[in-house]
Structure formats: C-alpha cells, structure tokens
Chain A
C-alpha cells in the first residue's frame, strides 16, 4: 500500500475516545486473569494474540486449572461467530486494499474497528492506512492495559461506575445514525433489536448478535422492491 499519514492520523483521531474507555476495561480483564491464576506474561500473551474483549471475558468465566482448552476454544468460536458477518460486510470495501494486508486486517478485526470502517466506507473508499490507524492504537491499549491490570492486580474502580461500559453502546448508536435511510431502516433496526434482545434472554451464549443481525438482513430482503436504487 502507499502509506497515507493523513488517513492513518484520521483513524487515530476517530478511535481516541474509545481508547479512553477501553483502557480501564483492559485493566479489569487483566485483574480477573490474575485472579484465575494467569501470570502477567500469559495475560499479555492472551490479549496480544486473541485481541477480543468479549471472548476474553467469557474465557475467564470458563477458566479453571488445568485449562480446558477444547472447551475454551469452542466457546471462543461461538462468542466470535459475529465476526463472520462483520468480515463479510467489510469485504465489500477491501477491494482497493492490497491482499497481503488482509490477514493482518482480519487479525485486528474488533467490533470498534469494524464499526468505524463501515462508517468511513459510507463516505470515502476504505484504506489500509485508516484501518491500521484505528486498529494499532486499540491493540496497544488493550495489550498494555491488560498487562498493567495483571501486574498491579487491581483496577481504578469499577468501569460501570464511571459509565465506561456504556461508551461502547453510545459509540454504536452514534455510528448507527449514519446508516439511517428512512422508515425502511427503522423496520430493519426494529426487527434486529427485538430479535437480539429476545435471543439474549432465551438463547445461551453470544448467538443473539448473529440472530439479530440476520433478522435485519431478512427484513431488508423482504422489503426490497425491483428498481430500488439502494
């Protein structure tokens, strides 16, 4: 790729507020990892190679000594199944990016990087520079904060008390507004939201994201009329 400092900087600027919210959550994860018997190196190694908040928190819930690796691997797969949909969606915008960067892009595909990239692609072609501008600061923050949490063994209070846990919901609401195209979008969002909330209550694990996502896709397909310019 031709590296664009401007694109990279734009990515860093966009992701900065999310980094502020992610750092205490990484520390909380490191603290929990230490309480489950992981060494600081093992905690860092897991954050560095997995780089997925939801999957890492769920893994710690399942964790015991010695680590049940088959169960852990399977659980991680289920929790992360939403990334298949995210990747499929993002792949519509990666055509202009050199193929050799795709494996690294896939490795760094977190919810927040994905959401920012989809938002970016609404206005301008997605570049690898922008994507890595989002993803590299996120990776550094996540790995450093979980290492700090694992070493220090305590967090600066409960992230929920300061509202950091809600920052991700607020971010996704803010990004959603850019996808609004009228009442049809309302129908898609309503179907997804109701199905996801019900699935969360009645289906174990993280299937609710996939169920909600597919519900919206089905509604969009049903509402499609020949001649639409969408």
Chain B
C-alpha cells in the first residue's frame, strides 16, 4: 500500500472516531435540570461558533451580509430564501466595498 493510501485511511479513521464517539457517548444517559439546559444549548452554540470567525473577523462585507441574513431568518422566511439573500448580499457588498 502506498503512503498516500495509508494516509487517506488514517484521516478517514480519525474522522470516523470523532463522529462515532459523540453519537455513542451519551447513549442511555437521561439528563434533566441544569444538565439538560446545558445540552439544549449545544446546537445553537456550535452553529454560531462555526460561523463566528467568518462573520466577525473576515471583513465588513461578511458582517453586514450576516446581519441582513439574520433579519431574513427572523422574519421566518423559507430557508432557501434566507440562504439566497445571504449569498446575493455578500456578492454585492464585496463588489461595492473592494
């Protein structure tokens, strides 16, 4: 086996281990109270962490586009429309600002 194939399998296994361990970690654990409040916060906390560097530290175009996208999202527009508004805004803003 070539070094390339070994490396690919290594990367694939490392990725799978992270994905599977989380899914199996909490199996059969019932949570309530403060622990449940903390776990319920995980999805929005991770979602915002994924995008925070892009929307806060990339440039003013990304930040403004994110604010407009958030406005569209809170108007309960369909998700496709929200994504479309975000993409169009960022393209326009990047053109205007650069």
Instruction: Kindly identify which residue among B11, B41, B46 contacts A219, using a CB–CB cutoff of 8 Å.
Output: B41
Contact B4 A67 (CB under 8 A): yes
Interface 9-residue window, one of A23-31, A104-112, A139-147 = A104-112
Contact A46 B8 (CB under 8 A): yes
Contact B23 A90 (CB under 8 A): yes
Instruction: Kindly identify which residue among B18, B53, B85, B90 contacts A200, using a CB–CB cutoff of 8 Å.
Output: B53
Chain B positions 16-45 with a Cβ under 8 Å from a chain A Cβ: 16-27, 33-45
Chain B positions 29-80 with a Cβ under 8 Å from a chain A Cβ: 33-57, 62, 65-66, 69-70, 72-74, 76, 79-80
> Interface of chain A, helix or strand or loop or mixed?
helix
A20 CB to nearest B CB, Å: 9
Range class of the B interface residue count: 35 or more
Instruction: Kindly identify which residue among A55, A167, A193, A218 contacts B83, using a CB–CB cutoff of 8 Å.
Output: A167
Does A73 belong to the interface (CB within 8 Å)?
A: yes
Q: Tell me which residues across on chain A come within 8 A of B72, comparing CB atoms.
A: 174
Q: Tell me which residues across on chain A come within 8 A of B56, comparing CB atoms.
A: 193, 197
Contacts A67-B4, A88-B22, A173-B51: A209 and B11 contacting too (C-beta < 8 A)? Answer: no
Interface size on A, residues (CB 8 A): 98
Contact B18 A84 (CB under 8 A): yes
Contact B24 A91 (CB under 8 A): yes
A19 CB to nearest B CB, Å: 12
Q: Tell me which residues across on chain A come within 8 A of B85, comparing CB atoms.
A: 170
Q: How far is the CA of A66 from the CA of B22 in the complex (A)?
A: 32
Instruction: Kindly identify which residue among B4, B44, B48, B83 contacts A170, using a CB–CB cutoff of 8 Å.
Output: B83
Contact B86 A179 (CB under 8 A): no
Q: Tell me which residues across on chain A come within 8 A of B88, comparing CB atoms.
A: 163
Chain A positions 163-183 with a Cβ under 8 Å from a chain B Cβ: 163-164, 166-177, 179-180
Contact A166 B48 (CB under 8 A): no
B32 CB to nearest A CB, Å: 10
**Which B residues fall within an 8 A CB radius of A?**
2-27, 33-57, 62, 65-66, 69-70, 72-74, 76, 79-80, 82-88, 90-91, 94
**Which A residues fall within an 8 A CB radius of B?**
14, 17-18, 21, 38, 42, 45-46, 49-52, 55-56, 59, 63, 65-70, 72-74, 76-77, 80-92, 94, 102-103, 105-107, 109, 111, 115, 118, 161-164, 166-177, 179-180, 185, 188-189, 192-197, 200-201, 208-221, 223-224, 226, 228, 230
For the complex of A and B, list the 10 residue pairs with the smallest distance between their C-beta atoms, beginning with the closest. Answer: A87-B22, A216-B45, A170-B86, A212-B49, A220-B41, A73-B10, A67-B7, A177-B73, A196-B49, A174-B82
